[in-house]
């Protein structure tokens, strides 16, 4: 599995950097699931056929959801997302050719956006006619609120996408799965791209 990760995410010939938030790409999820099933089959060959069968079923679900994401993007009025928050969705936006603006690159430890950043993002909301600003789960939404307060219309919605960074065992016990979270993110994406 590490070999699969290294081949997928090698930044240069000498250095392997473990990427963050690779799971937010359905395309990466298919590759990672395949690597896990292959590793399990190698460790437990007696159940290799079962692992392969389960993999095929799950990859089909991932592929179908991937197609729904692509169809959503292809038929949307907009192709730009604006995050008034940290931004762990780089793999997802790259998969579907979306543009984005964010208060912070990646999952920065910063919590306060500069005046220049707020002004720039509010200007982008106005310029692009965006109807919302996005945040991630567990956000206090203060940056998104400040961006909206500095737009001309001041009436945009705040939408929240789930990066799965805060998923707990309780969430899982209550039915949260990778697929259910990504399906919910798709619904948020549909709203964000209107």
pLDDT tens by residue, 109-168: 666 899 999 999 999 999 999 999 999 999 999 999 999 999 999 999 999 999 999 999
Residue 102 has pLDDT above 80, yes or no: yes
Q: What is the Cα–Cα distance from 147 to 142, expressed in whole angstroms?
A: 9
Residue 4 has pLDDT above 60, yes or no: no
pLDDT tens by residue, 42-66: 999 999 999 999 999 999 999 999 9
Query: Do 97 and 175 sit in the same domain of this protein?
Result: yes
Other Cβ atoms less than 10 A from the Cβ of 55: the count is 18
Residue 12 has pLDDT above 80, yes or no: no
Residues of the domain holding 23: 2-72
Q: Which of 36, 51, 72 is the last residue of a domain?
A: 72
Q: Which of 72, 97, 131 is the last residue of a domain?
A: 72
Q: What is the Cα–Cα distance from 186 to 190, expressed in whole angstroms?
A: 6
| Global pTM exceeds 0.75 | yes
Q: Are 121 and 144 in contact (CB under 8 A)?
A: no
Q: Are 87 and 105 in contact (CB under 8 A)?
A: yes
Query: Do 93 and 47 sit in the same domain of this protein?
Result: no
Q: What is the Cα–Cα distance from 94 to 87, expressed in whole angstroms?
A: 13
pLDDT of amino acid 80 = 98
Query: Do 57 and 98 sit in the same domain of this protein?
Result: no
Query: Do 64 and 90 sit in the same domain of this protein?
Result: no
As for how many domains the chain has, the answer is: 2
Query: Do 85 and 52 sit in the same domain of this protein?
Result: no
Query: Do 110 and 41 sit in the same domain of this protein?
Result: no
pLDDT of amino acid 105 = 79
Among left, alpha and beta (phi > 0; psi -120 to 50; other), residue 29 is: alpha
Question: Domain containing 16 — which CATH number?
Answer: 3.40.50.1980
Q: What is the Cα–Cα distance from 95 to 192, expressed in whole angstroms?
A: 17
Q: Which of 25, 52, 72 is the last residue of a domain?
A: 72
Q: DSSP letters along 42-85, please?
A: HH-GGGHHHHHHHHHHHHHHHHHHHHHHHHHHHT-S--EEEESS
Q: State mean pLDDT over 81-101.
A: 96
The per-residue pLDDT of the chain, averaged, comes to 91
Q: State mean pLDDT over 64-91.
A: 97
Query: Do 93 and 177 sit in the same domain of this protein?
Result: yes
Q: State mean pLDDT over 99-105.
A: 94
Query: Do 64 and 15 sit in the same domain of this protein?
Result: yes
Query: Do 50 and 86 sit in the same domain of this protein?
Result: no
In which band, very low, low, confident or very high, does the pLDDT at 15 lie, cut at 50, 70 and 90? low
């Amino acid at each position: 599995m590490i070999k699969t990760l290294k081949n997928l995410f090698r930044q240069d010939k000498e250095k392997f950097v473990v990427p963050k938030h690779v799971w937010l790409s359905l395309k990466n999820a298919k590759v990672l699931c395949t690597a896990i099933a292959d590793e399990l089959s190698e460790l437990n060959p007696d159940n290799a056929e079962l692992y392969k069968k389960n993999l095929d079923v799950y990859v089909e679900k991932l592929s179908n959801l991937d197609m729904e994401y692509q169809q959503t993007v292809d038929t949307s009025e907009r192709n730009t997302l604006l995050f008034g928050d940290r931004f762990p969705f780089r793999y997802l936006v790259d998969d579907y050719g979306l543009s984005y603006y964010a208060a912070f690159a990646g999952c920065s430890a910063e919590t306060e956006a500069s005046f220049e950043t707020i002004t720039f993002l509010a200007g982008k909301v106005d310029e692009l006619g965006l109807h919302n600003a996005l945040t991630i789960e567990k956000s206090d939404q203060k940056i998104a609120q400040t961006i909206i307060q500095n737009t001309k219309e001041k009436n945009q919605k705040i939408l929240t996408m789930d990066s799965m960074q805060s998923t707990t065992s309780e969430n899982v016990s209550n039915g949260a799965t990778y697929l259910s979270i990504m399906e919910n993110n798709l619904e948020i994406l549909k709203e964000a791209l209107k």
